[in-house]
Chain A
Amino acid sequence: MPVIGVPTEELRRRVGDEVQGEKLLDVLGNLGCDVEGFATLRRPQCNRCGFIMELAGQEDVPPQCANCGTDLRDVDGAITELDPLEVVRMELLAVRPDMFDPAGLARAIRGVLDLDVGPVEYQVEGVAAKLRVDPSVRRPESLRPHIACAVIEGVNLDHDSIKSLMKLQENLHWALGRNRKHASIGVYDLDSWDGSLEFEYTTEPPDYAFVPLGAEAGETPWSLERILEEHPKGTAYRNLLDGFDRYPVLRTQGGQVLSMPPIINSEKTKVHLGTRRFFIDVTGSGARIVQRTLSILATSILEYHHGSKLRAVELIDATDPDDAGSTRTLTTPDLTPQEMEIDADRTARLLGVEMSASDLQHRMLQMRHGASLGKGSNVKVLVPAFRNDILHERDLMEDAAIAYGYANIVPTRVETVTTGKELPTTTAAGAVRDVLVGMGYLEILTLTLTSHELSDGLLGLGAHPQTVIVGNPISQEQTQLRTSLLSGLLHTFARNRHNALPQRIFEVGEVSFLAPESETGALETLHFAFGSIAPKVGFADVRAEAESLLRDLGIGLRLERADVPFLIPGRGAYLLTEDGRRLGVFGEVHPAVLERLGLQNPAVLLEALVPTKEVPGVYRSLA
Chain B
Amino acid sequence: MSRTLTPEEAQVLQALDEGRRVTVADLANELGIDQAKISAAAIGLGGDELIRVEEEEYAEWVLKEEAAGALKSGTPERRILLALLDHNGSGSMAEVPGWAGLEPKVVGQSLRGLADRGWVEKKGKDLEVTDQGRAERDVKGPDEQLIELLDRLGGAALESSIVLTDGGEAGIAPDDLERAKALIGKKSPFVERKTRVHRWLSATDAGAKLRAKGVEATREVSQLTPELLSSGEWRNVKFKPYDINLDTEPFQVGKRHPLQRVIESTRQVFIEMGFEEAVSPYVESGFWDFDALFQPQDHPAREMQDTFYMESPSRTELPDAGLVDAVRATHETGGDTGSVGWRYKWDTEKARQTVLRTHTTATTIRELAKNPNGPRKIFSIGRVFRRETIDYKHLPIFFQVDGIIIDKTASFSSLLGTLAAFYERMGFEKFTFRPGFFPYTEPSVEVFIWHEEKQDWFEMGGSGIFRPEVTEPLGCTEPVLAWGLGLDRLAMLLHDRSDIRDLYISDLEWLRTEPRCR
Inter-chain contact A433/B389, CB cutoff 8 Å: no
Complex Cα distance A94/B470, Å?
21
Say yes or no: is A422 at the interface (Cβ < 8 Å to chain B): yes
Say yes or no: is A244 at the interface (Cβ < 8 Å to chain B): no
Instruction: Type the 1/0 row for B415-451, where 1 means its CB is closer than 8 Å to any CB of A.
Output: 0111111000000000011111100001111000000
Say yes or no: is B344 at the interface (Cβ < 8 Å to chain A): yes
Complex Cα distance A428/B377, Å?
22
A410 to chain B minimum Cβ distance, whole angstroms, is: 6
Within 8 A of B (CB), among A479-501: 481, 492, 495-496, 499-500
The A interface is mostly helix, strand or loop, or mixed, namely loop
Inter-chain contact B508/A442, CB cutoff 8 Å: yes
Contact of B407 among A414, A419, A523 (CB under 8 A): A414
Inter-chain contact B508/A449, CB cutoff 8 Å: no
In the A-B complex, the 10 residue pairs with the smallest Cβ-Cβ separation, listed nearest first, are A521-B313, A352-B413, A352-B411, A32-B435, A420-B271, A411-B417, A398-B443, A418-B274, A471-B311, A522-B283
Complex Cα distance A420/B300, Å?
36
Can you list 7 pairs linking A and B with CB atoms under 8 Å apart? Answer: A351-B412, A394-B468, A401-B435, A413-B414, A422-B277, A442-B255, A447-B396
Inter-chain contact A414/B442, CB cutoff 8 Å: no
Q: A442-B255, A445-B506 are in contact. Are A474 and B282 (CB under 8 A)?
A: no
Complex Cα distance A436/B85, Å?
98
Known pairs A471-B311, A521-B354 / 18 extra A-B pairs, C-beta < 8 Å: A394-B443, A398-B435, A411-B419, A412-B417, A416-B409, A417-B274, A419-B276, A426-B267, A426-B277, A430-B264, A444-B511, A448-B282, A449-B397, A470-B308, A471-B314, A495-B505, A504-B252, A520-B284
Q: A32-B437, A448-B383 are in contact. Are A349 and B411 (CB under 8 A)?
A: yes
A interface, CB within 8 angstroms of B: 29-32, 93-96, 178, 182, 286, 288, 349-353, 389, 391-395, 397-398, 401-402, 406-407, 409-423, 425-426, 430, 433, 436-449, 467-475, 478, 481, 492, 495-496, 499-500, 502-505, 510, 512, 514, 516, 518-524
Say yes or no: is B304 at the interface (Cβ < 8 Å to chain A): yes
Residues of B within 8 Å of A439, CB to CB, are 254
Complex Cα distance A440/B252, Å?
7
Q: Which of B9-17, B123-131, B333-341 contacts A (4 or more CB under 8 A)?
A: B333-341
Residues of A within 8 Å of B409, CB to CB, are 414-416
Complex Cα distance A616/B255, Å?
28
B316 to chain A minimum Cβ distance, whole angstroms, is: 4
Residues of B within 8 Å of A398, CB to CB, are 435, 442-444
Complex Cα distance A415/B417, Å?
11
Inter-chain contact B417/A474, CB cutoff 8 Å: no
Complex Cα distance A443/B389, Å?
25
Inter-chain contact A419/B274, CB cutoff 8 Å: yes
Complex Cα distance A435/B337, Å?
52
Inter-chain contact A445/B259, CB cutoff 8 Å: yes
Residues of A within 8 Å of B375, CB to CB, are 414, 416, 418
Residues of B within 8 Å of A475, CB to CB, are 389-390
Contact of B468 among A392, A416, A419, A496 (CB under 8 A): A392
Contact of A471 among B255, B281, B310, B405 (CB under 8 A): B310
B164 to chain A minimum Cβ distance, whole angstroms, is: 72
Q: A393-B338, A443-B256 are in contact. Are A449 and B435 (CB under 8 A)?
A: no
Q: A422-B267, A445-B257, A524-B281 are in contact. Are A411 and B411 (CB under 8 A)?
A: no
Instruction: Type the 1/0 row for B265-283, where 1 means its CB is closer than 8 Å to any CB of A.
Output: 0010011111111110111
B109 to chain A minimum Cβ distance, whole angstroms, is: 63
Within 8 A of A (CB), among B371-394: 374-377, 383, 385, 387-390
Inter-chain contact B313/A522, CB cutoff 8 Å: yes
Inter-chain contact A522/B282, CB cutoff 8 Å: yes
Residues of B within 8 Å of A286, CB to CB, are 343-344
Residues of A within 8 Å of B43, CB to CB, are none
Inter-chain contact A391/B469, CB cutoff 8 Å: yes
Q: A414-B410, A512-B283 are in contact. Are A437 and B254 (CB under 8 A)?
A: yes
Residues of A within 8 Å of B410, CB to CB, are 414
Question: Once A and B bind, how many residue pairs between them come within 8 Å at the CB atom?
Answer: 270
Instruction: Type the 1/0 row for B3-31, where 1 means its CB is closer than 8 Å to any CB of A.
Output: 00000000000000000000000000000
Complex Cα distance A96/B444, Å?
14
Q: A394-B468, A402-B435, A521-B315 are in contact. Are A445 and B260 (CB under 8 A)?
A: yes
Residues of A within 8 Å of B420, CB to CB, are 411
Complex Cα distance A29/B447, Å?
12
Contact of B274 among A420, A426, A445 (CB under 8 A): A420
Say yes or no: is B317 at the interface (Cβ < 8 Å to chain A): yes
Complex Cα distance A442/B250, Å?
14
Contact of A467 among B312, B383, B445 (CB under 8 A): B312
Q: A352-B414, A410-B413, A522-B283 are in contact. Are A472 and B256 (CB under 8 A)?
A: no
Say yes or no: is B356 at the interface (Cβ < 8 Å to chain A): yes
Complex Cα distance A523/B279, Å?
11
Q: What is the interface residue range for chain B against chain A?
A: 35 or more
Residues of A within 8 Å of B39, CB to CB, are none
Inter-chain contact A472/B304, CB cutoff 8 Å: yes
Residues of A within 8 Å of B256, CB to CB, are 433, 437, 443
Contact of A440 among B254, B397, B437 (CB under 8 A): B254
Complex Cα distance A401/B304, Å?
35
Complex Cα distance A471/B286, Å?
14
Say yes or no: is B142 at the interface (Cβ < 8 Å to chain A): no
Say yes or no: is B227 at the interface (Cβ < 8 Å to chain A): no
Complex Cα distance A243/B513, Å?
61
Inter-chain contact B316/A521, CB cutoff 8 Å: yes
Inter-chain contact A413/B274, CB cutoff 8 Å: no
Residues of B within 8 Å of A471, CB to CB, are 308-311, 314
Say yes or no: is B239 at the interface (Cβ < 8 Å to chain A): no
Say yes or no: is B42 at the interface (Cβ < 8 Å to chain A): no
Residues of A within 8 Å of B315, CB to CB, are 521
Complex Cα distance A500/B509, Å?
8
Complex Cα distance A401/B465, Å?
12
Inter-chain contact A420/B275, CB cutoff 8 Å: yes
Contact of A443 among B255, B468, B507 (CB under 8 A): B255
Chain B, residue nearest A390 (CB): B340
Q: A178-B298, A411-B420 are in contact. Are A523 and B281 (CB under 8 A)?
A: yes
Inter-chain contact B504/A447, CB cutoff 8 Å: yes
Say yes or no: is B204 at the interface (Cβ < 8 Å to chain A): no
B257 to chain A minimum Cβ distance, whole angstroms, is: 4
Residues of A within 8 Å of B312, CB to CB, are 467-469, 514
Chain A, residue nearest B259 (CB): A445
Inter-chain contact B435/A406, CB cutoff 8 Å: yes
Inter-chain contact B340/A392, CB cutoff 8 Å: yes
A587 to chain B minimum Cβ distance, whole angstroms, is: 21
Contact of A397 among B279, B298, B443 (CB under 8 A): B443
B390 to chain A minimum Cβ distance, whole angstroms, is: 8
Q: A471-B311, A481-B282 are in contact. Are A503 and B340 (CB under 8 A)?
A: no
Inter-chain contact A440/B443, CB cutoff 8 Å: no
Inter-chain contact B257/A444, CB cutoff 8 Å: yes
Contact of B343 among A94, A288, A419, A512 (CB under 8 A): A288
Inter-chain contact A94/B437, CB cutoff 8 Å: yes
B394 to chain A minimum Cβ distance, whole angstroms, is: 10
Complex Cα distance A470/B387, Å?
11
Q: A445-B506, A469-B311 are in contact. Are A474 and B339 (CB under 8 A)?
A: no
Q: A352-B411, A391-B341, A411-B416 are in contact. Are A474 and B387 (CB under 8 A)?
A: yes
Contact of A413 among B314, B397, B417, B504 (CB under 8 A): B417
